[in-house]
Homo-oligomer: A and B are copies of this chain.
């Protein structure tokens, strides 16, 4: 724990929040975390400030930090933003993906079809599918922006690792349609499909959360 302690703590906290170990509203006190990690307040403090800037923590009474709470409306707002950015990425990808990237996308799609009902495996393949589209857009800034926004949604998805079989099937269909549109280079159709795809996963999530 000698070097880059602050970075490690930041990563640990991000992971912890995204994986649901820290739930929204839970206090993030400097001293408590410092003891927990066996370091001084200084690196913890730095990590907390970075969390705040990355929209994972908020300040409360006495300026105390806590894991950011979200209302249902915030979640909708966030998912819409993700959808718009990812739709833009996908539209760019439809025009710009290299031949190799198109083949890779197809391969990932096939993997998704082949993994059966293993929700965990499908989740990983799903992430690669979206990452591949992000890469295909050939715009670093926009795909980093998308990654930031997506990570914020992760806080809410983590609690619901399992998806029901119906959503898994419809997700596959949507991925297939998206892949077709991208391979045809139809940017407008791609944009529209991606927006619908993200909206669908939002609806599934709210369904599960009962928001």
Contacts and interface: CB of A to CB of B under 8 A. Distances in A.
The secondary structure that dominates the A interface is helix
Stoichiometry (number of copies): 2
A88 interface: yes
Contacts of A151: none
B50 A142 contact: no
Given A77-B141, A80-B141, A84-B88, 15 more contacts: A45-B46, A46-B46, A49-B50, A50-B50, A53-B53, A77-B139, A77-B142, A78-B141, A80-B142, A81-B141, A81-B145, A87-B88, A141-B149, A145-B145, A145-B149
Contacts of A141: 74, 77-78, 80-81, 149
Contacts of A80: 139, 141-142
Closest 3 CB pairs of A and B: A81-B141, A84-B88, A81-B142
A85 interface: yes
Nearest to A92: B84
Contacts of A169: none
